[in-house]
Amino acid sequence: MLQYVTLLALLLTFGLLLGAIVVLQHLAKSRPQGGPVGDQGFTLEGFSYAFMLLAAITAVGVCYVLVRDTPWGGHILEWLNIVVRLMHITFGIAWIGASFYFVFLENALNRTDNVRDELAGNLWAVHGGGFYYLEKYKLAPPQIPKNLHWFKYEAYFTWLSGFSLLFVVYYFNASSMLIDPRVLAISPLAGVGIGVGSFGVAWLLYDGLCRTALVRSRWFMVVGFALAVGFAFFYAQVFSARAAYIHFGAMLGTLMVANVFFIIIPSQKAMVKAATDGTPLDPALGKNSLARSLHNNYFTLPVLFVMVSNHFPSTFGHAYPWAILAAITLGTAGVKHWLNLREKHQSNAWVLPLSAAILLGVVFVTAPKVEPGTAAGRCTQQVSMVQVNAIVQKRCIQCHSAHPTDDVFKAPPNGVVYDTPEDIIRLKDKIMQRVVVTRTMPQNNKTQITQQERDLIGCWINQGALNK
């Protein structure tokens, strides 16, 4: 019965989407065309791509619901992870690359030497075997060119693919990946609602702050960073540490794309319209858009760290993961500030050393400590491979096997298997880091490994990890 219902839903979805595209085609034909490329927001091509993407996502989602309780469930989910992650990385590179490039242009403009009155600056550059000459107008050129490129879809599709990846990795398996009962025992639905809702709350707070007089003072950075730390702390009190990090990055990414969607692009469209109609331009539009673009630029390195953080349990596995996240955010944003100052040929001797000191401080704070009462201090007798293998087979083999039995992972994560004692010995360093030091494995302690068992594994490794 479920198969027939799913097939019917799939056909109905495609039918509705095709019908919507036909209606949009009729509306697009009846709408006058013209104007700069990129400002024709209501076109058949743009909406067709959007609805085709929506149809594909819907179809894949329905198919996953159909096969989720079969051996194909994990296989489909893994390939969803691969495809969506690749899309997210690709669009993210384009968006962050554009951010880096245009902030560099703004910082590196020649603003004084033989600059025409209508220009804010110019720049000569060489790349790829060719010379380039770029000019920035103070307001707008006398005539808006028809072939005007708009940088917006990189941001939109980065966020859409990232939001989809959040569902694929964390929300579809919320009980395993999102919720940690040791942190807060809530339902998966409540966890998803809190995660998604927090993004909207963050935008309202940040956008409200940007509209106050603080935005023109250094206190804006102080209050903004305090808000970021508050969200890092909040996520760490609700989700598993790994999920808390990802949600912090998703929150920053949401602020970035909302800046583009609600502030930057509308301001640019207003400027283009005023220039096209010959009406006076409001200089505040350009200044406000530039300010939000700079905010996005400072968010980039913290977001990039979060994107790779789930591979490094020494960060999210710390006793105070929110504090580590806050320190890394401050340090990486400081590095970006130093780069921006350097592009403007402004020297600031303390920014880079202080940022580096913060990041190095994180290295020392997260270093493992060997003290009485830890695994190394409790080794009162020789631990054998038989004891360790018994623990691994009871607590780890559900996922890390050539044939996993876990309800989520149908293939061993990262190809790590512990089927034989030789496998365990070969990966002892990884086991020490994930199981003993950071205690981030098993994932959310799904198999209920005890501290005594962690101590035994730590003793065995400290004693030489012998196969006897």
SS3 track for the chain: CHHHHHHHHHHHHHHHHHHHHHHHHHHHHCCCCCCCCCCCCCCHHHHHHHHHHHHHHHHHHHHHHHHCCCCHHHHHHHHHHHHHHHHHHHHHHHHHHHHHHHHHHHHHCECCCCCCCCEEEEEEEEECCEEEEEEEECCCCCCCCCCCCCCCHHHHHHHHHHHHHHHHHHHCCHHHHHCCCCCCCCCHHHHHHHHHHHHHHHHHHHHHHHCCHHHHCCHHHHHHHHHHHHHHHHHHHHCCHHHHHHHHHHHHHHHHHHHHHHHHHHHHHHHHHHHHHCCCCCHHHHHHHHHHHHHHHHHHHHHHHHHHHCCCHHHHCCCCHHHHHHHHHHHHHHHHHHHHHHHCCCCCCCHHHHHHHHHHHHHHHCCCCCCCCCCHHHCCCCCCHHHHHHHHHHHCCCCCCCCCCCCCCCCCHHHCCCCCHHHHHHCHHHHHHHHHHCCCCCHHHCCCCCHHHHHHHHHHHHCCCCCC
pLDDT value of position 195: 97
When the pLDDT of each residue in the chain is averaged and rounded to a whole number, the result is 86
* Percent composition of the chain: helix, strand, coil (DSSP 3-state, to 5): 65, 5, 30
Give me the mean pLDDT over the 195-206 stretch: 98
Closest CA to 245 of 440, 445, 102: 440
Question: HSE (CB half, 13 Å, CA atoms) of 433?
Answer: 11
Nearest to 431 by CA among 375, 370, 382: 375
Query: Do residues 52 and 282 touch, judged by C-beta distance below 8 A?
Result: no
What Cα–Cα distance (Å) separates residue 255 from each residue in 252, 260, 276, 284? 5, 9, 30, 21
pTM exceeds 0.75: yes
- For the segment 309-343, what is each residue's pLDDT rounded down to a tens digit? 998 999 999 999 999 999 999 999 999 999 999 99
Q: What are phi and psi of 125, to 5 degrees?
A: -145, 155
The mean pLDDT value for 173-197 works out to: 93
pLDDT of residue 316: 94
CA atoms within 13 A on the CB side of 399: 16
Cα 19 to its chain centre, rounded Å, is 34
Which of 66-75, 213-222, 312-321, 337-346 bottoms out in mean pLDDT, i.e. has the lowest?
A: 66-75
Q: What is the mean pLDDT of residues 393-409?
A: 88
Residue 403 confidence (pLDDT): 87
What local confidence, expressed as pLDDT, does residue 44 receive? Answer: 54
Angle made by CA atoms 266, 38, 111, in degrees to the nearest 5: 70
- CB atoms under 10 Å from CB of 179, counted, come to 24
pLDDT of residue 224: 97
Share of the chain above pLDDT 70, in %: 82
Contact 391, 456 (CB under 8 A): yes
Q: Look at 126 and 49; give whichever has higher pLDDT.
A: 126
- Cα torsion at 112, 115, 269, 210 (round to 10°)? 10
Cα–Cα distance measured from residue 98 to residue 85, given in angstroms and rounded to the nearest whole number: 20
| Coil, helix or strand at residue 149 | coil
What does the pLDDT look like over 371-388, one tens digit per residue?
544 444 567 788 999 999
Q: What is the per-residue pLDDT across 244-284, written as a single tens digit (0 to 9) for each?
A: 999 999 999 999 999 999 999 999 999 999 988 989 888 88
Is pLDDT above 80 for 10? Answer: no
